[in-house]
């Protein structure tokens, strides 16, 4: 729970109000949650998903529409995973929760050679388990804790390593059309989530897969953006703003804009 000193802190209240405001704006802008939705909040034990749950609980109390929330954690059977941390935390809040047990850790360790990046396979296995659970339990929304910096980092990962101009969408329909994925923290800078998580004293659970890998491409992109923002404050803000203001006619994808159909207008008659 929030320490008493933090509850009365004006700085904390302003920070919480700002994050809540940005989260509410994202939900409204992208129509993420509607009347009667059943929202599955994916809780990993990291700062982002804890903050996401806090914000959705706060917004649920004041929202003009009624929606349900339930927290879901995927226990991937990582060695030393503290099994009671999340259940104890969620029970203290009175939040409904489910724990899915699936040994994706052993699969990733067996399939990916030592020294190779494990995130891709781990992410696919985790996503498959969560999507399947959401379908089986009738959830209409799957909420993930990705923040603004995740979207910007993904833009550069795809630009540098995939040759495509795309990032993470704030709202996504799964390939099979059965799940709607939402990212309500998409407007929130990571630094503000980090400050909020420290003030709240969340029981953070480190990942022994992703967090233990050296030289991850995403980590390199993150360092690049941090260096840019330190040398030129506001640069990451500007990049994210560009993601929200796309001019297809000023790019070069003929499948996205009808360049072939562009013709000059005939001159006006006398």
The CATH number for 237's domain is 3.40.50.620
Determine the pLDDT at residue 118: 55
**Whether pLDDT at 214 is above 50:** no
**Whether pLDDT at 38 is above 90:** yes
Residue 265 lies in a domain: no
Residues spanned by the domain of 67:
4-247
Determine the pLDDT at residue 115: 57
Residue 259 lies in a domain: no
Residue 191 lies in a domain: yes
Residue 269 lies in a domain: no
Question: What gap in Å lies between CA 117 and CA 245, rounded to an integer?
Answer: 33
Residue 266 lies in a domain: no
Question: What gap in Å lies between CA 2 and CA 160, rounded to an integer?
Answer: 41
Residue 10 lies in a domain: yes
Q: 131: which 2 tokens?
A: 């999507």
Please say whether the beta carbons of 48 and 81 come within 8 A: no
Q: 245: which 2 tokens?
A: 């203001």
Residue 253 lies in a domain: no
**Whether pLDDT at 215 is above 70:** no
Mean pLDDT within 24-33: 97
Structurally, the chain folds into a number of domains equal to 1
Question: Packing angle between helix 217-231 and helix 148-157, nearest 10 degrees?
Answer: 110
Determine the pLDDT at residue 2: 46
Question: What gap in Å lies between CA 221 and CA 153, rounded to an integer?
Answer: 6
Q: pTM of this prediction? A: 0.87
Question: What gap in Å lies between CA 49 and CA 28, rounded to an integer?
Answer: 20
Residue 39 lies in a domain: yes
């Amino acid at each position: 729970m929030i320490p008493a000193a933090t509850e009365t802190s004006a700085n904390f209240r302003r920070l919480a109000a700002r994050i809540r405001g940005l989260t509410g704006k994202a939900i409204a802008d992208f129509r993420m949650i509607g009347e009667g939705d059943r929202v599955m909040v994916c809780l990993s034990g990291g700062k982002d998903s804890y903050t996401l749950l806090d914000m959705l609980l706060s917004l649920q109390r004041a929202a003009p529409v009624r929606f349900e929330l339930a927290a879901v954690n995927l226990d991937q059977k990582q060695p030393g995973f503290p099994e009671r941390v999340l259940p104890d935390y969620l029970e203290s809040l009175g939040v409904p929760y489910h724990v899915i047990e699936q040994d994706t850790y052993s699969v990733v360790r067996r399939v990916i050679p030592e020294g190779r990046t494990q995130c891709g396979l781990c992410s696919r296995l985790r996503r498959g388990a969560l999507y399947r659970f959401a379908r089986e339990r009738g959830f209409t929304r799957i909420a993930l804790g990705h923040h603004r910096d995740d979207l910007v980092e993904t833009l550069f990962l795809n630009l540098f390593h995939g040759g495509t101009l795309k990032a993470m969408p704030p709202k996504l329909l799964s390939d099979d059309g059965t799940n709607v994925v939402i990212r309500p923290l998409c407007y929130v800078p990571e630094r503000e989530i980090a400050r909020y998580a420290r003030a709240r004293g969340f029981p953070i659970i480190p990942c022994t897969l992703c967090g233990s890998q050296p030289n991850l491409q995403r980590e390199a992109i993150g360092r690049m953006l941090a260096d840019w923002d330190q040398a030129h404050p506001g640069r990451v803000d500007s990049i994210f703003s560009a993601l929200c203001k796309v001019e297809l006619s000023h790019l070069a994808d003929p499948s996205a804009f009808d360049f072939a159909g562009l013709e000059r207008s005939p001159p006006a008659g006398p």
